[in-house]
């Protein structure tokens, strides 16, 4: 499935690093959400991207945005990763069915068994207002997040 701007974001429920269920629709009517799909925890580019977000988390807090980072890793890996890097945002496990949420968002790479680097910005009404995807091996720029947040 390819999502386009204006589409309703597919709802999902995944487990975060604390073992809590996080459901996208729970934020509807309350706050915008930024979903950050990344291939694998503890990998070089992914760690660098999420640490840059961590170091600039005030941008998201200022906009009252809920940030959800998602990879196909298990909740146990996500816990270690988030604790090790000091992430203040939810790190979700799209572990089983393997990459199920990434598939719904059209960013699962079947041949590799991981999600692509993709970001989806969803407004309070649950509509997709911005998205950006980079080629495998290419990091996202913090400037892209600034432009995406401006669309809220």
Q: Residue 1: what pLDDT? A: 67
Catalytic residues: 46
Is residue 38 within 8 A of residue 71, CB to CB? The reply is yes
Q: Considering the domain boundaries, does residue 98 fall inside one?
A: yes
Q: Which domain holds residue 25?
A: 13-150
Per-residue CA distances from 86 to 35, 60, 111 (Å): 18, 16, 31
Contact residues for 44 (Cβ-Cβ < 8 A; gap 6+): none
Using pLDDT thresholds of 50, 70 and 90, give the confidence band for residue 135: confident
Query: Over the stretch 64-99, which tens digit does the pLDDT of each residue have?
Result: 999 999 999 999 999 999 999 999 999 999 999 999
Q: Considering the domain boundaries, does residue 71 fall inside one?
A: yes
Q: Considering the domain boundaries, does residue 6 fall inside one?
A: no
Q: At 47, which CATH number?
A: 3.40.30.10
Distance CA 137, CA 54 (A): 20
Tell me how many domains the chain contains: 1
Asked whether the predicted pLDDT for residue 101 surpasses 80, the reply is yes
Q: Considering the domain boundaries, does residue 133 fall inside one?
A: yes
Distance CA 145, CA 120 (A): 10
């Amino acid at each position: 499935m390819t999502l386009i701007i204006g589409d309703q974001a597919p709802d999902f429920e995944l487990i975060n690093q604390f073992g809590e269920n996080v459901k996208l629709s729970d934020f509807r009517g309350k706050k915008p959400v930024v979903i950050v799909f990344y291939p694998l925890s503890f990998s070089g580019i992914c760690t660098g991207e999420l640490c840059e977000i961590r170091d600039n988390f005030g941008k998201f807090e200022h906009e009252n945005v809920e940030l959800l980072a998602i990879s196909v890793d298990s909740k146990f890996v996500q816990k270690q990763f988030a604790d090790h890097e000091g992430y203040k945002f939810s790190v979700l496990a799209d572990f089983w069915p393997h990459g199920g949420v990434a598939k719904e968002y059209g960013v699962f790479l079947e041949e590799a068994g991981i999600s692509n680097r993709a970001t989806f910005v969803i407004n309070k009404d649950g509509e997709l207002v911005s998205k950006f995807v980079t080629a495998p091996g290419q990091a996202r720029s913090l400037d892209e997040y600034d432009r995406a947040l401006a669309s809220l």
